[in-house]
Amino acid sequence: MSALELRDVEVEYDRRGGGKVRAVAGASLSVERGQIVGLVGESGCGKSSLARAAVGLVAPTAGTVRFEGREVTPLTRRARPRELVRLQMVFQNPYSSLNPRRKVGSQLADGGPRTRVGELLELVGLPASAAARYPHQFSGGQRQRIAIARVLAADPTVIVLDEPLASLDASAQAQIANLLVSLARGLDLSLLLISHDLAIVRHVADVVSVMYLGRMVETGATRPLWQLPLHPYTEALIAAVPHADGSGFLPEALPGEVPDPANPPPGCRFNPRCPYAFDRCVAEEPPLLPLPGDRRSACWLRDTKPG
By CB under 6 A, which span of 105-113, 142-150, 220-228, 299-307 interacts with ligand SF4?
Answer: 299-307
- Residue 271 interacts with ligand SF4 (CB under 6 A): yes or no: yes
- Residue 268 interacts with ligand SF4 (CB under 6 A): yes or no: yes
Mask of contacts with ligand SF4, 214-253, x by CB under 6 A? -----------------xx---------------------
Q: Which of 22, 286, 288, 296 binds ligand SF4 (CB under 6 A)?
A: 286
- Smaller CB separation from ligand SF4, 46 or 156: 46
- Residue 264 interacts with ligand SF4 (CB under 6 A): yes or no: no
Q: Which of 270, 288, 295, 296 binds ligand SF4 (CB under 6 A)?
A: 270
- Residue 211 interacts with ligand SF4 (CB under 6 A): yes or no: no
Q: Which of 233, 203, 196, 236 is nearest to 218 (CA)?
A: 233
- Smaller CB separation from ligand SF4, 126 or 299: 299
Q: Which of 188, 229, 200 is nearest to 212 (CA)?
A: 229
- Residue 46 interacts with ligand SF4 (CB under 6 A): yes or no: no
Contacting residues toward ligand SF4, per CB under 6 A? 231-232, 268, 270-271, 274, 276-277, 281, 286, 299-301
